Structure 1
C-alpha cells in the first residue's frame, strides 16, 4: 500500500475542553500531512456533548430518568423531569447562543424567566447584596449583557451535566469523565469492569459517533489521544466499538496520560482494545508504526512503543534503534482542518476575567518551544521527554505558523501551551509579530523570573499579550528554595506587577502540602497571596494539593525533602502518584479547604482586608509576614527606579 492510500484518523476522546479543540490531533494531523500522509481528525468529546445536549438527546435522558423510582431521584433529576418541556424547548437555542450563532437570545436568558434554573444557580446567591439586588450587576454592570447571559447559560448546562451524572452515568463530568478509573490506578480491573458492563446511554451514543466517524473516513490507522485520566475510559470505549465492527483497523493509543502514567505498562488486557501504545512526542513513533503497517519495517523496529506479543501474550516494549524525535522546528504547522470550529461552546464558569480564558472563546493552541528551559523544579516530571527535551524554533518559523493558522481558521486568538515559554523566545516572537504587523491576541505560561521587567512586559503587551500564568507554588521563600523554583516571593511580586501595569492579566498557580510545609508556612503563604491581590499584582489564582510523582526529583530522592515514600501498590497498569509520610504532620486537608475558599473570594474582590486566619476552620498561628511586606518591596523598586 502506498503512503497516499494509507489513511490516518486522529480522535479527541471525551472529555476535554468544550470551548476549543485539544491541540494534540491538530499537531499530529499537520505533521502527518507535511510528510505526505493523508490524515484527518475528529473531536468526539464535543460531538458527544452536542449529541446529548440536544432535544433528541434530552428525550433519551428523560426515558432513562423516568425509570428511577421517585423516592430515589436526586434533586437535579426530579427538577429536570418536572420542567422537562422547558429544558427541551430551550436546549437547542441555548447551545446556538453559546456557539456564538444567536447573540440576541442573551436578552431572554438574562431575564431569568426563560431558562429553567436548577441547583447550580444557587451559586448566584453569594453575590446578592443586602438590598436583594441583581446578583450579577457587580460583575457585569449595565453593559455586560452577553457575558451575563453566557454565565447563566453555563449554569444551565452544568445543571444538565448533574442530571446525566445522577440518572445515566455516575462518572459523568464535562472535564474529568470517569477519571477515578484511570488516574494513578495500578490495577486495570476497575477499567475492565466498567468496559465489560452493559453500555449506558453515554456509552451507546459515543460508540455510534465513533463508528460514524470511521465510516466517513475509513482509516487504516486510528489514533486515540488521551491527554488526561478523564479521557481514558472513553478512549477505550471508542476502541472497543471500532474493534468489534472493524477489526482490520489498527488502533494506537498515546497522549499526555499515557506518557506520564503508563511508562511501565505490563497489563496485556489493554491490548484487547488497542494494538499499540506509544510514548513521548508522537511524531517519530507514528512514522515508525506507519512504516511497519506498510511493510517497510518489522515490529521489532518500532520506536518507543508497547505491543502484545502474539505468542506469549505478554506486553513488550519496543524501541528498535532508539531513533531521535523529530526536531521541533520540523514538526510542521498544526491544522484544525476538519474540526467544527463554529460549534464549540464559549462557556463562562468563573466570573473572574483571567479564569474565563480557559473556557471562554476558541483559542488556536500553539507551542513556542518544546520542553522546559529551566527543568529543575523538584515537583515536576523533569526526567520525561515533554519536560527534559528543550528545543526551539526561530521566531520567523513561529510567525509563519501563526499566519498559516489565522489564514485557515479566521481567528486571531492564540494560547501558547508551553510548560514555561522562554523569555528570550517571547521577546523575539513579539518583535517578529510587530515587524510583520501581524495582529493577534495571545496568552501563555511562564516562569516569574526577573527577565520579565517592565520593558519586556510592555513589548509583549504591544505584540498582543493579554494574559500570563505562572507558578508561585508555595508562597514561601524557604519552600521555593527547597523545590528549586528559582524565584522568591518578592521577585514574583515585582514581575507580576510589571505584567499587570502593562495591562496583562496574571494568574498564579499555587500549591499546598509540599514536603515539610507546616501551619506557619501555610498561613504566611496565604498572607503573601492576599497582598499580591491587594496590590493588583495578580488577577486570579488556584491552589492545588501537592502530589508526589514517581518521575519527579521528590519521588526519586525523597530523603532530600524530609519525607518517606509509601510502597507503591502492586499493579501492571498506571503508575504516577506515590504516597508519602511527612513528619511535619500538618492537616493539609483542612488547610486546603480554607485556601481554596480564600482564593475564590480574593478573585472576586471579597475579604482582602480580613485577617487570613479567618478563612480557616482550625486554629492557625499568626502570620509572621508583615501586613504590608509586598507593598514595601514594590515601593523600594519604584524608589530605586
Structure 2
C-alpha cells in the first residue's frame, strides 16, 4: 500500500494542477488509486455531469480524497499540526498566554517545518531582502510564521522582521508579553501601508523610532506601542492593484472535497483576491468586530478605478476569475461595477460577499450575472426574525428569501452563513431556524451554507456589553498575548453545543439535495420541539412577490 501511494502521488498532484481528460480516465481506472479510509467511503449518491466535465470532476474528487488520506497520515504520524490550509491552528486560537507557543518554539522543527524552511532559505538567498514581512490573517498562520522568523533570526540575524494582518489586528491589540520579540522586530496594526512605510524609513535612518505608526516594538525589554499622530493615511481609492508577482500559479492545486457547486468555490479553480470597498457600510451587527478599523472604517472607490485594477491583475496573472473579499460589497457599487465591466467589455468570472439587501432586486441580479457574477455569499445567521432584530442585522427572513430567490433565478449561486447559539436563542428558535434553512434549500433560494456556533469577541458590541444580551463573560483571563474570543454563560438560552451534530447532519443532506421529506427530529438523537413554522413559509413569501 505504501508503494502504491508513493507511485501515485505525483500523478494525482499533477492532475489537480492541470486537469486533463487522459489523466482523469487513468485515475478512475479500477485499482489505480489505493482504497484508503476516505476513498473506500466515497459517496455513491453523487450525480456527475455527462461527458468530459463529469469525468474530470469525478477524478478531481477522487484525487482530492487520495491526497487528503496522505494528509491524514502526515497528521497522525509525522506532524500533528499539519493541515492543507492551516498549521497549528489550535495553539494560536484563544492564546491569551504566550506560554505554550514559547515552549513549542523550543522544540526541534518537524519534518514539515524543515521543508518549509528549506524553501524559505532558498528565497532569502535569492532575494537578499532588507526586511521580511509576514501577513498573518488567521490563527492557523501564526506558528508557521514564528518558525520562519526563528529560522531567520538564527541564520540571517541581520534581517528585520515585521508581522501584520488580520490576526494581529484582531488578537494582539493589547499585547504586553515581550517574548514574541525574540523572533520578530515589529508588529503593525490595521492597514499596513502607512506603518510599513514608516518601518522602512526607520530602518533607513530617515526617521526616529518614535515616528512609527500603529506599530509594537521592544524598548528596554518592554513592549511599546508607537503611534505618531496624525497617521499616514492611504485611502482605499488611491491604492494600486495588488501585486501577485512571484506566485507559482501553475503549481496551485484545485481540490474538490465537497462536490456541491457553490461549496467548491473556496478550493476549486483560481481566483484573484481583490476588495471593492474597505470595511463595512452597515457596521451595526452586534456579533461583529465593528469597533475595529477593517470593519468600521468604510471607504469606497470608483467603478472605473476598480476595473482598471482588474485589467492590471488579469494582465499580470493571466487569470480572469475574481473573488471580491469585502466584508459586504455595497449594492450601489456592484451596479456600477457591473455596468463598467459590460461597457468596457472586460470578461471576468466573479463572486463576492454581500448583505441580503432589498436593493438586490431581479434587475440588479440580472445585471450582475450579465457582467460575470456566478455566486454570492451572505449572512442569514440565526434565521429568526426576533434574533435578527436583536443582532441588528437589518434583514428579516422574508427579505432574505426574496433576495436569494432573485439571485438564484438569474443563475447566481448563493451560500448562506448560518449561526446557532446566539445569546438567549431557545431550542424552539434553533429548530425553527433549521426549518427555514431547509425550505430555502428546497425552494432553491440557496445552494450552500455553513453553520457557525456563536462566539463572543472582545471587540464586538456583545463583548463590550454582555449584560444587554443576557450573557455572563467567564474568561479567559488575559495574560499578555492574544485577546479576542471570550467564554460566556448563556443562562437564558438553550444548551447550544448539543445541537451541533444534528444541525450539520441535516445541512449535509440539504447540500446534496437530500432529506427534505425527513422530519427535523430525525437529525437529532435527543427530543427536539416541532417547528412552529408552516411548511410553506418560504413558498408563501415568494408567491407574494409573484402576485405583486
Contact preservation (8 Å) 1:523, 1:613 = no
Match of 1:222 among 129, 132, 139: 132
Counterparts of 1:469-488 in structure 2 under 5 Å?
469-488=377-396
Match of 1:600 among 492, 508, 520: 508
1:515-568 CA distances to partner (integer Å, 9 max, x unpaired)?
000100000000000000111100010001101000000000111111111143
User: What is the Cα deviation at residue 580 of structure 1?
Assistant: 1.1
Query: What CA distance in whole angstroms lies between the structure 2 residues aligned with 1:351 and 1:101?
Result: 16
Match of 2:176 among 252, 266, 280: 266
1:182-228 CA distances to partner (integer Å, 9 max, x unpaired)?
11111111111111111221121112111111111100000011111
Counterparts of 1:346-425 in structure 2 under 5 Å?
346-425=254-333
User: What is the Cα deviation at residue 570 of structure 1?
Assistant: 3.4
In the alignment, which residue of structure 2 is the partner of 1:278? Answer: 188
Partner of 2:151: helix, strand, or coil?
helix
Partner of 1:196: helix, strand, or coil?
coil
Counterparts of 1:109-258 in structure 2 under 5 Å?
109-124=27-42, 127-128=43-44, 135-136=45-46, 138-141=47-50, 143=52, 144-258=54-168
Query: What CA distance in whole angstroms lies between the structure 2 residues aligned with 1:248 and 1:164?
Result: 34
Cα-Cα RMSD: 1.2
Partner of 2:312: helix, strand, or coil?
helix
Counterparts of 1:269-308 in structure 2 under 5 Å?
269-308=179-218
Q: 1:101 to 1:454 in 2, by over 3 A?
A: closer
User: What is the Cα deviation at residue 322 of structure 1?
Assistant: 3.9
Partner of 2:492: helix, strand, or coil?
coil
User: What is the Cα deviation at residue 172 of structure 1?
Assistant: 1.2
Contact preservation (8 Å) 1:96, 1:102 = no
Query: What CA distance in whole angstroms lies between the structure 1 residues aligned with 2:36 and 2:194?
Result: 49
Query: What CA distance in whole angstroms lies between the structure 1 residues aligned with 2:234 and 2:437?
Result: 41
Query: What CA distance in whole angstroms lies between the structure 2 residues aligned with 1:176 and 1:334?
Result: 23
Query: What CA distance in whole angstroms lies between the structure 2 residues aligned with 1:381 and 1:511?
Result: 16
Match of 1:552 among 439, 444, 460: 460
Partner of 1:579: helix, strand, or coil?
strand
User: What is the Cα deviation at residue 117 of structure 1?
Assistant: 2.5
Contact preservation (8 Å) 2:19, 2:56 = no
Contact preservation (8 Å) 1:283, 1:331 = no
Partner of 1:342: helix, strand, or coil?
helix
Query: What CA distance in whole angstroms lies between the structure 1 residues aligned with 2:30 and 2:372?
Result: 36
1:64-97 CA distances to partner (integer Å, 9 max, x unpaired)?
xxxxxxxxxxxxxxxxxxx121112111111111
Query: What CA distance in whole angstroms lies between the structure 2 residues aligned with 1:477 and 1:382?
Result: 21
In the alignment, which residue of structure 2 is the partner of 1:507? Answer: 415
User: What is the Cα deviation at residue 336 of structure 1?
Assistant: 1.2
User: What is the Cα deviation at residue 142 of structure 1?
Assistant: 5.2
Contact preservation (8 Å) 1:140, 1:148 = no
Which runs of structure 1 show a deviation greater than 6 angstroms over 4 or more consecutive aligned residues?
none
User: What is the Cα deviation at residue 141 of structure 1?
Assistant: 4.6
Partner of 1:370: helix, strand, or coil?
coil
- Aligned length in residues: 547
Match of 2:435 among 513, 527, 538: 527
Contact preservation (8 Å) 1:448, 1:492 = yes
Partner of 2:273: helix, strand, or coil?
strand
Query: What CA distance in whole angstroms lies between the structure 1 residues aligned with 2:422 and 2:50?
Result: 40
Moved more, 368-377 or 605-614: 605-614
Unaligned runs of 5+ in 1: 1-82, 129-134
User: What is the Cα deviation at residue 111 of structure 1?
Assistant: 2.0
Partner of 2:307: helix, strand, or coil?
helix
TM-score (normalised: structure 2): 0.98
Q: 1:502 to 1:101 in 2, by over 3 A?
A: closer
Query: What CA distance in whole angstroms lies between the structure 2 residues aligned with 1:199 and 1:426?
Result: 47
In the alignment, which residue of structure 1 is the partner of 2:18? Answer: 100
Query: What CA distance in whole angstroms lies between the structure 2 residues aligned with 1:149 and 1:520?
Result: 43
Unaligned runs of 5+ in 2: none
Contact preservation (8 Å) 1:97, 1:103 = no
Query: What CA distance in whole angstroms lies between the structure 1 residues aligned with 2:522 and 2:547?
Result: 34
Partner of 1:175: helix, strand, or coil?
coil
Query: What CA distance in whole angstroms lies between the structure 1 residues aligned with 2:35 and 2:482?
Result: 40
Q: 1:111 to 1:140 in 2, by over 3 A?
A: farther
User: What is the Cα deviation at residue 100 of structure 1?
Assistant: 0.7
Query: What CA distance in whole angstroms lies between the structure 1 residues aligned with 2:279 and 2:410?
Result: 27
TM-score (normalised: structure 1): 0.84
In the alignment, which residue of structure 1 is the partner of 2:249? Answer: 341
Query: What CA distance in whole angstroms lies between the structure 2 residues aligned with 1:188 and 1:498?
Result: 48
Query: What CA distance in whole angstroms lies between the structure 2 residues aligned with 1:607 and 1:152?
Result: 25
Partner of 1:566: helix, strand, or coil?
strand
Query: What CA distance in whole angstroms lies between the structure 2 residues aligned with 1:481 and 1:455?
Result: 27
Query: What CA distance in whole angstroms lies between the structure 1 residues aligned with 2:82 and 2:530?
Result: 42
Query: What CA distance in whole angstroms lies between the structure 1 residues aligned with 2:405 and 2:434?
Result: 18
